[in-house]
Amino acid sequence: MHNIIQELRGNVRVFARIRPFLPDDGEQIVNGESPSVTHFGDEQVAVPNPNNPSQRHEFSFDRVFGPSAGQEDVFEDVSELVQSALDGYNVCLFSYGQTGSGKTHTMQGAGSGVMRGLIPRCLEQIGLHKIAEEKDGWEFSMEVSFLEIYNETLKDLLRVNMNQECKHEIKVGTDGRRTVTDLTVKVIDPNDRVAVDAIIALAAKRRSTASTDMNATSSRSHSVFTLSMTATHVVRNQVVRGTLNLVDLAGSERLDRSNATGQHAKETVAINKSLSSLVDVFTAIGQKQSHVPFRNSKLTYLLQPALSGDGKTCMIVNLSPTEASVPETLCSLRFASKVNLCELGKAKRSIEEVRSETRAPSNAATASLKSGAVSRNVKRKL
pLDDT tens-digit map of 17-32: 999 888 877 766 655 5
For residue 278, the model assigns a pLDDT of: 87
Range of the domain at 290: 2-381
Identify the three-state secondary structure at position 235. Answer: coil
CATH for 64: 3.40.850.10
Which residue has better confidence, 278 or 380? 278
For residue 51, the model assigns a pLDDT of: 81
DSSP classification of residue 358: G
| 8 A C-beta contact, residue 211 and residue 151 | no
- Interval 223-244: pLDDT, tens: 999 999 999 999 999 999 999 9
Under the banding of pLDDT at 50, 70 and 90, the label for residue 72 is: very high
Residue type, 99: T
Which residue has better confidence, 338 or 74? 74
Which is nearest to 208 in space by CA: 199, 217, 198? 217
E strands along 181-337, which residues? 186-187, 209-210, 218-219, 222-233, 238-248, 311-319
Pairwise CA distance, residues 7 & 1, whole Å: 10
Under the banding of pLDDT at 50, 70 and 90, the label for residue 378 is: very low
- Is residue 263 predicted with pLDDT exceeding 80? no
Percentage above 90 pLDDT, the chain: 44
Of 102-116, 227-241, 344-358, the range with the lowest mean pLDDT is 344-358
The total domain count for the chain is: 1
Residues in the chain: 382
Max CA separation in the chain (angstroms): 75
For residue 380, the model assigns a pLDDT of: 36
For residue 213, the model assigns a pLDDT of: 42
For residue 225, the model assigns a pLDDT of: 96
Of 164-168, 285-289, 303-307, 352-356, the range with the lowest mean pLDDT is 352-356
Pairwise CA distance, residues 85 & 229, whole Å: 8
- The mean pLDDT value of the chain amounts to 81
Which is nearest to 256 in space by CA: 351, 324, 333, 318? 324
Any alpha helices (H) in 293-358, and if so which ranges? 298-302, 304-307, 326-340
Of 3-7, 154-158, 279-283, 309-313, the range with the lowest mean pLDDT is 3-7
Of 74-83, 274-283, 289-298, 368-377, the range with the lowest mean pLDDT is 368-377
Across 47-66, average pLDDT: 89
> Which residues are within 8 A (CB) of 370 and not within 5 positions of it... i.e. 6 or more apart?
none
Which residue has better confidence, 85 or 377? 85
Across 174-185, average pLDDT: 88
- pTM for this one? 0.83
Pairwise CA distance, residues 208 & 220, whole Å: 5
Under the banding of pLDDT at 50, 70 and 90, the label for residue 350 is: confident
- Interval 315-326: pLDDT, tens: 999 999 988 888
Pairwise CA distance, residues 372 & 378, whole Å: 10
Which residue has better confidence, 237 or 250? 237
